[in-house]
Amino acid sequence: MLNVSEICRRAFLRLPPGAAAAAALLNPAAQAAEASHFAPRAKRVVYLFQSGGPSHLELLDEKPGLRRLHGSELPDSIRRGQRLTGMTSGQNSFPVIAPKFAYRTYGQSGLRMSELLPHTGSIADQLCVIRSMHTEAINHDPAITLIQTGSQQPGRPALGAWASYGLGNEAEDLPAFIVMISHGSGRDANQGLLERLWGSGFLPSSHQGVKLRGSGDPVLYLSDPPGISRDFRRTMLNSVQSLNQQHLQQSGDPEIATRIAQYEMAFRMQASVPDLIDMSQESEATFQMYGDEARKPGTFAANCLLARRLLERGVRFVQLFHRGWDQHGGLPSNLPKQCHDIDQPQAALIRDLQQRGLLEDTLVVWGGEFGRTVYGQGGLQADYGRDHHGRCFSVWLAGGGIRGGMTLGQTDDYGYNIESDPVHIHDLNATILQCLGMDHQRLTYRFQGRDYRLTDVHGNPVKSILS
């Protein structure tokens, strides 16, 4: 008879110091960094990434003066000759375009935010909006790679991988870092996503994000093959374990003990993941809160609900990607669709986390890789578009460690340059780590002789937004 606890105990004994016990189940070979550097404000993160670069001008950074400036040429004093992407650098005119959508006042704090985000408005007092984000990247690939990995070029671990490496796993039957992708209702994204955005880079590959999918196997290769029942799989597994146990006696290699534990863990995941995605136990009230889309696997709404279920189960880092925000053209016709995709579910997620007492130690981050230009791509058009803009954009944070009901930073009247409190992507990432109790300067991994950090040699946590 197999004694799993004995095997696990032995597997744990080989762990390097600092690794949480549960981490061993999923990441036994992983080198875990030193535990928290200081008291964590958040234990978990859910990152609602809006891929493509949502327009800060239409959504979060109101510029009433633009109505008056509509159609006028962007002054050189604002543009300051900074580089543009090759998509608009050839334009000989840069007409200012006023957003087609109105702003409204939300919450006690009086947050001004787009009329397209009424549900999000209803949780305005939870949000900390940063209007002074900036990045030096001006194209999708480098920009999204920078915000997710701290470098514009491939090769570095993703934020979630760093979190997994730094804090280990506290979920019992699930990986520490989970990724979900949804496709926007606007036009199909003309920029790709990349495995590296949830990759482990030079960290041990057990820290790579595991995709949870809306179709097919929720976790790749999760289902037993057709014809193999759960019971018979257990019978087979008992044979595997018994034979492995015999081999362990002979060869003495502790890696076999770990293998035995991993096979048990896999067997449990085969039950825990279907349980995780089984929404039948969710109340009608929940679906009303998240909206009907939440019943459709693979939607942003369903992913938000799943995110809550993952966070409840102790998953350290839940990363959502919602595609379709790259509105070079057709912004007015596509933006409402994209906003409709996310508005109700993301508000519901925050409210739901709050109701369950999870929000206080869960950090919620919302944002894209850059903002969009105040001038129109392809000139002045009714169904206008905007090019990529890295000199300022807006994100919001909520939950563990974050002061709600505040805004940080101000941009100029064109929403083009930052006027106060600039926050670079490295600062944002340092802040996220800080919320998790980690000093971004001390969370390092040596590779090719250098102690690498998520924030390279930059970054300062934004203390003023921390509660």
Partner 1 sequence: MRPQFVLCLLLTLQVSVGSSHPATADDPATIDFNRDVRPILSNHCWSCHGRDESSRKAGLRLDTRDAALATGDSGRPAVVPGQHSASELVRRILSPDAAEVMPPPELQKPLTEQQQRILQQWIQQGAAYAEHWAFIPPRRPALPTVRNTDWPSNELDLFILQKLEQAGLQPAPAAPPLMWLRRAALDLTGISPSPAEQQQFLANIPALGLNAAKAEAADRMLQSPHSAERLAMHWLDGARYADTNGYNNDEMRTMWPWRDWVINAFQSGMPWDQFLIEQLAGDLLPNATISQKVATGFIRNHVLTTEGGIIEDEYHWEYVADRIHTTSTVFLGLSLQCARCHDHKYDPFSQRDYYRLAGFFNNVPDRIVSYSQGRMAEPLLKVPSPAQSAELEQLARRETELQQLLAGRQSAVAETAADWAAGLTEQQLAELELSGLAHAFALDETGAEFADSTGRSAPATPHGTPQSVPGHSGNALQLNGSHWIAAPAVGDFEADQPFTASAWIRTEAGAGGTVFSRMDDAAAYRGYDLIVEGGRLNAHFIDHWPDKGCKVSTQAILKPQQWHHVALVWQGTRRASGIRIYVDGVLQPLQVDNDGEVAGSLRTPRPFHIGRRSGSVPFTGTIDDVRIFSRAISETDAQRLAAGTALAGIRDLVLTARAERTAEQQAELQRFFIDHIDPEARNWRTELTTIGPRRATIEQQIPQTMVMQEQSPRRPSFILHRGQYDQRGEQVTAGIPAVFATTSTATADAAPQPEPTRLDFARWLVSPQNPLTARVAVNRWWELLFGCGIVETTEDFGIQGALPSHPELLDWLAVELQTNGWNQRSLLKRMVLSATYGQTSAVSSEQLERDPRNRLLARSARLRLPAEMLRDNALAAASLLNPLIGGPSAKPWQPEGLWEDVSVERREKYQPDPGDGIYRRSMYTFWKRTCPPPAMTVFDAPDRETCLVRRSRTNTPLQALVLLNDPTFVEAARSLAGRVLQDAAKDPARIELAFNIVLARQPAPAERDELLQLLAAGRQHFAAEPAAAAELRKVGRAVVDPRIPDAELAAWSSAMTVLLNLDEAITRP
Give residues with Cβ within 8 angstroms of 463, minimum separation 6: none
Stretch that binds partner 1, among 40-48, 105-113, 214-222, 359-367 (CB under 8 A): 214-222
Site for partner 1 in 270-329 (CB under 8 A): 270
From CA 279, how far away is CA 297, in angstroms rounded? 10
Instruction: State which residue, 32 or 69, has the beta carbon closest to partner 1.
Output: 32
From CA 428, how far away is CA 409, in angstroms rounded? 13
**20 CB burial (10 A radius; 0-12, 13-18, 19+):** middle
**153 CB burial (10 A radius; 0-12, 13-18, 19+):** exposed
| 91-109 b/e (C-beta count within 10 Å ≥ 16 → b) | eeebbbbbbebebbebbeb
Choosing from 6, 195, 278, 292, the residue that interacts with partner 1 (CB under 8 A) is: 195
Instruction: For residue 228, state whether it binds partner 1 (rule: CB under 8 A).
Output: yes
To partner 1, the closest distance from the beta carbon of 259 in angstroms equals 5
Q: How many residues bind partner 1 (CB under 8 A)?
A: 93
Choosing from 46, 130, 146, 181, the residue that interacts with partner 1 (CB under 8 A) is: 181
Instruction: For residue 216, state whether it binds partner 1 (rule: CB under 8 A).
Output: yes
Choosing from 5, 76, 77, 83, the residue that interacts with partner 1 (CB under 8 A) is: 83
Stretch that binds partner 1, among 267-275, 345-353, 366-374, 398-406 (CB under 8 A): 267-275
Instruction: State which residue, 222 or 406, has the beta carbon closest to partner 1.
Output: 222
To partner 1, the closest distance from the beta carbon of 258 in angstroms equals 5
Instruction: For residue 85, state whether it binds partner 1 (rule: CB under 8 A).
Output: yes
3-state secondary structure of 81: coil
3-state secondary structure of 394: strand
To partner 1, the closest distance from the beta carbon of 316 in angstroms equals 15
Instruction: For residue 92, state whether it binds partner 1 (rule: CB under 8 A).
Output: no
To partner 1, the closest distance from the beta carbon of 78 in angstroms equals 20
From residue 245, alpha-carbon distances to 1, 10, 254, 288 in Å are 10, 13, 11, 50
| Backbone phi and psi for residue 370, each to the nearest 5 degrees, phi listed first | -165, 180
Site for partner 1 in 386-445 (CB under 8 A): 387-388, 441-442
Give residues with Cβ within 8 angstroms of 187, minimum separation 6: 324, 330, 334
Amino acid in the structure at residue 294: A
3-state helix, strand, coil in the chain (%, to 5): 40, 15, 45
To partner 1, the closest distance from the beta carbon of 154 in angstroms equals 4
**What are the structure tokens assigned to 232, written together?**
């018979």
Instruction: For residue 236, state whether it binds partner 1 (rule: CB under 8 A).
Output: yes
Q: What mask, x for binding partner 1 by CB under 8 A, covers residues 246 to 265?
A: xxx-xxxxxxx-xxx-xx-x
Instruction: For residue 446, state whether it binds partner 1 (rule: CB under 8 A).
Output: yes
Instruction: For residue 348, state whether it binds partner 1 (rule: CB under 8 A).
Output: no
To partner 1, the closest distance from the beta carbon of 214 in angstroms equals 9
**Residue listed under structure tokens 């974050």:** 402
CB half-sphere exposure, 358, CA atoms < 13 A: 22
Given the DSSP bridges, would you call strands 362-367 and 393-399 parallel, antiparallel or unpaired? antiparallel
From CA 153, how far away is CA 75, in angstroms rounded? 33
Instruction: State which residue, 213 or 295, has the beta carbon closest to partner 1.
Output: 213
Instruction: For residue 87, state whether it binds partner 1 (rule: CB under 8 A).
Output: yes
Instruction: For residue 202, state whether it binds partner 1 (rule: CB under 8 A).
Output: yes
Choosing from 233, 295, 351, 458, the residue that interacts with partner 1 (CB under 8 A) is: 233
Instruction: For residue 5, state whether it binds partner 1 (rule: CB under 8 A).
Output: no
Site for partner 1 in 146-175 (CB under 8 A): 153-155, 175
From CA 290, how far away is CA 269, in angstroms rounded? 26
Instruction: For residue 193, state whether it binds partner 1 (rule: CB under 8 A).
Output: yes
To partner 1, the closest distance from the beta carbon of 248 in angstroms equals 8
Instruction: For residue 104, state whether it binds partner 1 (rule: CB under 8 A).
Output: no
Choosing from 7, 8, 23, 26, the residue that interacts with partner 1 (CB under 8 A) is: 26
